[in-house]
Amino acid sequence: MMTLDQFDAFLYKTQNRAFEETRDKIDKVYEKYTKPGNTKKADYRSVTAARLGPAGFTSYGGQVHTDEYEPGTERVTKYKKFTIAVVTAEELMADMFNGGRIDDDQIELFANMTKDFADSMTWTCEIITSDFQLRGTSTTATNTWPGAGRDGLALFSTSHVTTKGTPVTWSNRPTAAAMNQLTLMEGVTMLENTPDETGRPLGVVRRIGIVHGRYWEWRVPELLKSVSKPDSDHNNPNTLRLRDIEWVSILNPYLGSTTTSWKTIDLDNHELLRFMKMKPKYTKDVDVYTGNQINKATMRYAIDFDSAKGVVLNDGI
């Protein structure tokens, strides 16, 4: 005959299984426009080093041209802890067991609780990661937003400067405008005009993501899939389809329905990083003072950017 402790253990096993299955099943938007960072150490540390400049002319028998690597600025990302809990009365478990209420409906009630935990954790990650777009123009650090980048500027700025050789100023924040063919083309051009730290041009962009909210939900496919030039009454071809570019529309509903900004991302070369130090974990404890059960989910998660290159923000209208 099953005891109350055995029933409790069985219920916990059911809850944990429901949590694991739901956690892995949820479609995550933030994974489409960020890269996983290295979480093998206590803190994530990285250093941006300027690459070598061009080679110097050397006359016959002359001295070799020398250069040096510059270590750059070290950046440390610390992982943040997030928790959510539900407390159930000590009597509830005993009433379920002793009252003959051990049936599928009651088990499902607790399983749904853990599904809600998984949903809550994914929702938290989506909100935090959306800050790349919503707080990317701010240098003010918060509990979740890292603030300024290596150059002391916001992620999106009109005055980024290269660190080696003759300084080159570059921008990844164009003048705010409505989304149309020209503003998308401008985003691509800005991505390709971004220099590396030595001032050398970057390569051609092949895969471009457009991260946008509900505001542009129908505008994006209109611009990308029209054969003729959008917003015109003639048959000129749609320039966005002429180059060998793979456009990827990434709808992020967590930005809010009134958010008019959008990001243009070089999906292969950007440095927007997410750090899942500890995946969401479900646990159940007992409060020794009250006997109440504490159902809890915990994770450690953070975001950061190693570089402002590879991403452009248009604030929209």
* pLDDT surpasses 70 at 97: no
Name the nearest CA neighbour of 258 among 207, 317, 300. Answer: 317
- Confidence label for 52 from pLDDT (cuts 50, 70 and 90): confident
Q: Is the pLDDT of residue 100 over 70?
A: no
> One-letter amino acid identity for 30?
Y
Query: What is the C-alpha separation between 141 and 148, in angstroms, rounded?
Result: 7
Q: What are phi and psi of 286, to 5 degrees?
A: -120, 130
pLDDT digits (tens, 9 = 90+) for 215-270: 999 999 999 999 999 999 888 999 999 999 999 999 999 999 999 999 999 999 99
pLDDT at position 125 over 70 = yes
Paired sense of beta strands 160-161 and 169-170, if any: antiparallel
Integer Cα distance of 61 and 59 in angstroms: 6
Mean pLDDT of the chain: 89
- Please say if the pLDDT value at position 8 is more than 90: no
Give the pLDDT of residue 107.
61
137-191 pLDDT, tens digit per residue, is 999 999 999 999 999 999 999 999 998 888 999 999 999 999 999 999 999 999 9
Q: What pLDDT band is residue 98 in, cutting at 50, 70 and 90? A: low
Is 104 a residue whose pLDDT tops 80?
no
Q: What is the model's pLDDT at position 88?
A: 83
Q: Can you give the pTM of this predicted structure? A: 0.87
Which of 172 and 198 is assigned the larger pLDDT? Answer: 172
CA gap 75, 43 in Å, rounded: 10
Q: Which residues pair with 35 in a beta bridge?
A: 273
pLDDT of residue 195: 94
